[in-house]
Amino acid sequence: MKKILIAGEGGQGVQSLSKILLDILNNKDFHISFVPNYGVEQRGGVSLGYIQFGTENIYYPKFLKANIMVILSERAFKRTSDYINKDSIVIYNADLINDPTIKKIKKSYGFTFDTLSKEIGSLRVMNMIVLGTIMKTIKDFIKLGDAKKSINRVFGDKYIKNPNLKVLNEKALELGYNLIK
Amino acid sequence: MENKNNLSWPKCWKHSSKPHNFCPGCGHPIILKQLGHTIDELGIQSNTLFGIDIGCSLLAWNFFNVDTIQTHHGRTIPVMTGAKRSKPKMVSIAYLGDGGAYAIGMQHLISARIRNENITVIIVNNANYGMTGGQEAPTTIPGQITATTQSGADEFFTKGPELLSGASESPAYIARGSVDNPIQLKGFIKKAIEWQMTGKGFSFVEVLSFCPTNWRTDAKATIEFMNKLKSIYTIKEFTKENK
Amino acid sequence: MSKELLTGNEIIVRAALNAGAQAFFGYPITPATEIMAEWDTFYEKNRNNLLFLQTEDEMSAGFATIGAVVTGKKAFTATAGPGNILMQDAFSMAEAMQIPIVAIIGQRGGPSTASVIYSQQELTLTAFGGNGEGYRIVYSPSTIQELYDYTIKAFNTAWKYTTPTFVLTDGYTLKTRTNVEITRPKNLEKSFPMVLKSNKRGKKESEYVNLRNTYSVEEECFKNNKTLIEKWNKIKSQIEEHEVYELNKSKKDTLIIAHGNVASSAKQALYDTKKKSVKLFRPITVNPFPINALKKELKGIKQIIVTESANNQLLKLVKENLYGLNIPIKTYNKPALGITPEEIIELIKKNK
């Protein structure tokens, strides 16, 4: 079973990123579980998504150590550093995390997600770049085409209002997918 | 058929529960008799759910051959709301004291008015909490002596019909009657229930009522105190019609 | 073929609809609010057959549910924490009058306002809240699949035994999104009116129903209590449910007792460690408590570990039901905080 923890600021798209990833995994016929963390605040604060998937039953929605960690802000790093163990793969946002300890983690990959997404055209597509990197990390079974289908399903309504978003999202996804070799 | 002289017992009277358990001189039986006649006249005996609250009003739980349900603390209003919404063709009547309506259950009353629930609420205002031994009520008038205002009540009190009239723009039948004018009272109750039966929404009757036991009054003083209440609580229809 | 991806809150509404629910009355409170929002989604599409009202508070929601039920509707509500406290007023009436209402309880942190997230601190309140004895049925499902199955069952049980029935769950479970199997139940209990059964009635007093919740003399009140006790004693063995989780049938020396979400965690721990000397006992009905089933599992057991996201609420039920046995009981309590499989693995190691 794989355990993924995604952590970022409210507004960075952690929840919609989780939703798409879940949709991809669901169509792969895995057992899956996702639980957001949530506090009393409606806005702001650190947003977390606990994702588990695998071929065996998942009994419990949370976990203490993650196989893959995605950390998108400095505060999110402080909040979640306990979930990292020696085997964890850590993907982080180098634009916002200055804490030097993150670079010392053995399997850590820092990317300038904010800068990259602005280059594509909007900070809003940042989470799609992140999704691309997660897919590459999970490796063997996620194809770009599958991800695009899931994005279409989740963002369907938004795409009708804003067709350009689809173009940007797919561009961002591909960029992210090619970031990790 | 209209009962003009108002003297006989209502047909929906449950005889096995008489004599009733209200105190001698209590106003409740007068109100219930007018309600009973109204149920007879409108022919709604089999189609009415009568909800009764805690306090003296609960003694009416088996007063009529009409289906009843009893609860407490003004929650009779949401019970009757849930029932009416589930079975819109029935007649839903909530019968409460001033404590259940204006203090501990005020949010239910106001909300039923604001949401324009299609139910009829009858509130008995006797200016004190009768069953618990005559404590101050939201309707206790300035200077009134009760078990918890032993040197006289403060100047604050609740005017239910006025409050409900102002609580919403939507039309509603709202009236205040009194037990010393039962013919007029029956007219108010009938209009309120007809209002509900024609699907117009919220209807409400407050009734000024006698409580000689806790007022500690004889017949003459009871009438005098009722007159005092009437000088503060105006008897009238506050009905808001559609403009 | 993939199963449907749903949150716990969404699954409850699907279960309720498949169990024949017709009405929902509620007031928003995290983490149970989305049940109401999800019900509204279905209600907007089917206003002719479904009822929905967001009331002014939880007392109103509970009592309006009762009002709908007595006229014959399958109505339910959902609440949590401070809302559960307020709704005890209505639950107590349902208990006294044995009115079949269904309520979903999404436990959040306590005491008082506390956290909106997760806890198991509403076990005692849900099972025994009010000025009575707890003649109520409380299911504590462990997974979202069970949340579906036991919500359906709650409706059937409530109407079969005309007893208020609760699904005791929590914020983690309600907010978890997972793939579940939606199956249509085969047999459903029918709802029935308790008043206004006919609108063609005459003068006979026996044709009218006077439901009351009050007694003027103590002997009458005692009589009602006796009726409640006798009914409860008669039905409880038919209602009790439990699960024993063990990897194989080899000899066990340690018994973990947990319910709901924590029991899931314990299962995961046993599964991950392949621990053969430990088994899990999980009461599915925390009320009535499956006492005889628990006693049967004690053979050869040298120690019991009770673990819960509360401080000894489950333990009290265990102790009360195991009175007289001298197997040592250890506890691992984390009120308002989740207990992960990793922690339970540690716990098993420590208590070897």
**pLDDT tens-digit readout, B181-208:** 999 999 999 999 999 999 999 999 999 9
Residue C336: the pLDDT is 96
Q: Do residues B202 and B119 touch, judged by C-beta distance below 8 A?
A: yes
Is residue C2 over pLDDT 70? Answer: no
The neighbour count for residue B197, using CB atoms within 10 Å, is: 17
> Prior bond to C341 cis, omega within 30?
no
> Are B and C neighbours with ≥3 CB pairs closer than 8 A?
yes
The neighbour count for residue C288, using CB atoms within 10 Å, is: 22
Report the side by side order of strands in the sheet with B173-178: B67-70, B48-52, B91-97, B120-125, B203-208, B173-178, B236-237
**Domain check: are C148 and C20 in the same one?**
yes
Q: Do residues B81 and B117 touch, judged by C-beta distance below 8 A?
A: yes
- Alpha-carbon separation of residue C234 from B143, C220, C227, C238 (angstroms): 57, 21, 11, 8
Q: Look up the ipTM and state it.
A: 0.96
Is residue B126 over pLDDT 60? Answer: yes
Q: What whole-number distance in Å separates Cα of residue B50 and Cα of residue B71? A: 11
**Domain check: are C29 and C159 in the same one?**
yes
3-class SS at B122?
Answer: strand
Q: Mean pLDDT throughout C282-296? A: 97
Q: Do residues C334 and C168 touch, judged by C-beta distance below 8 A?
A: no
Alpha carbon A132 to its chain centroid, in Å, reads 8
User: Is A60's CB within 8 Å of C175's CB?
Assistant: no
Q: Is B58 on the interface with C (CB under 8 A)?
A: yes
**Domain check: are C123 and C248 in the same one?**
no
Q: What whole-number distance in Å separates Cα of residue A39 and Cα of residue A19? A: 19
User: Is C209's CB within 8 Å of B68's CB?
Assistant: yes
Q: Mean pLDDT throughout A68-75? A: 96
3-class SS at C305?
Answer: strand
Q: Do residues B203 and B192 touch, judged by C-beta distance below 8 A?
A: yes
- Tens of pLDDT, residue by residue over B129-138, are 999 999 999 9
Is C236 domain-assigned? no
**Domain check: are C160 and C280 in the same one?**
no
Is C210 domain-assigned? no
**Domain check: are C38 and C109 in the same one?**
yes
3-class SS at C200?
Answer: coil
Domain range for C137 is 4-180
The closest alpha carbon to C77, from C46, C97, C102, belongs to C102
Of A34, A59, A63, the CB nearest to C267: A59
pLDDT band for C30, please (50, 70, 90 cuts): very high
Q: What whole-number distance in Å separates Cα of residue C128 and Cα of residue C213? A: 18
Neighbours of C (≥3 Cβ pairs closer than 8 A)?
A, B
Interface test with C, best of A28, A59, A83 (most C CBs within 10 A): A59
State which of C159, C180, C201 marks the end of a domain.
C180
- Tens of pLDDT, residue by residue over C80-121, are 999 999 999 999 999 999 999 999 999 999 999 999 999 999
Q: What whole-number distance in Å separates Cα of residue C198 and Cα of residue C196? A: 5
User: Could you tell me what percentage of chain B is helix, strand and coil, using 3-state DSSP and rounding each to the nearest 5?
Assistant: 40, 20, 45
Percent share of chain C, pLDDT over 70: 99
The least confident of A16-30, B24-38, C259-273 is A16-30
CA of B66, closest CA in chain C: separation in Å? 6
**Domain check: are C171 and C52 in the same one?**
yes
- Chain A positions touching C282 (Cβ under 8 A) are none
Q: Mean pLDDT throughout B227-240? A: 95
**Domain check: are C255 and C330 in the same one?**
yes
CATH number of residue C248's parent domain: 3.40.50.920
Is residue B3 over pLDDT 70? Answer: no
Domain coordinates in residue numbering, chain B: 18-206+215-237
Is residue C199 over pLDDT 90? Answer: no
Tokens 């047909």 found at: B11
Is C16 domain-assigned? yes
The neighbour count for residue A156, using CB atoms within 10 Å, is: 10
Is residue C138 over pLDDT 60? Answer: yes
Hey, which residues does B32 pair with through a beta bridge? Answer: none
CA of C16, closest CA in chain A: separation in Å? 22
Structure tokens at C206: 């026996």
Residue C1: the pLDDT is 37
Q: Does domain B18-206+215-237 have CATH number 3.90.1300.10?
A: no
Q: Mean pLDDT throughout C319-347? A: 94
pLDDT band for C3, please (50, 70, 90 cuts): confident
Residue A181: the pLDDT is 80
Is residue C60 over pLDDT 90? Answer: yes
This prediction's pTM: 0.94
pLDDT band for B63, please (50, 70, 90 cuts): very high
- Tens of pLDDT, residue by residue over A90-140, are 999 999 999 999 999 999 999 999 999 999 999 999 999 999 999 989 876
Is residue B55 over pLDDT 60? Answer: yes
Of B14, B82, B107, the CB nearest to C56: B107
Hey, which residues does A93 pair with through a beta bridge? Answer: A111
- Alpha-carbon separation of residue A6 from A73, A134, A142, A173, B178 (angstroms): 11, 10, 18, 17, 68
Neighbours of A (≥3 Cβ pairs closer than 8 A)?
C
**Domain check: are C253 and C143 in the same one?**
no
Is C219 domain-assigned? no
Q: Mean pLDDT throughout A57-68? A: 92
CATH number of residue C63's parent domain: 3.40.50.970
Of A34, A40, A56, the CB nearest to C176: A34
User: Is A36's CB within 8 Å of C175's CB?
Assistant: yes
- Tens of pLDDT, residue by residue over B157-187, are 999 999 999 999 999 999 999 999 999 999 9
Q: What is the separation, in whole angstroms, between the first and last Cα of chain B?
A: 32
- Chain C positions touching B10 (Cβ under 8 A) are none
CA of C2, closest CA in chain A: separation in Å? 6
Of B49, B62, B110, the CB nearest to C195: B49
Hey, which residues does C279 pair with through a beta bridge? Answer: C255
* Residue ranges of domains in chain A, CATH in brackets: 2-179 (3.40.920.10)
**Number of compact structural domains in chain C:** 2
> Prior bond to C283 cis, omega within 30?
no
**Domain check: are C47 and C145 in the same one?**
yes
Interface test with B, best of C25, C210, C220 (most B CBs within 10 A): C210
Which of the 8 DSSP states describes residue A1? -
pLDDT band for C231, please (50, 70, 90 cuts): very high
Is residue B243 over pLDDT 60? Answer: no
Is C167 domain-assigned? yes
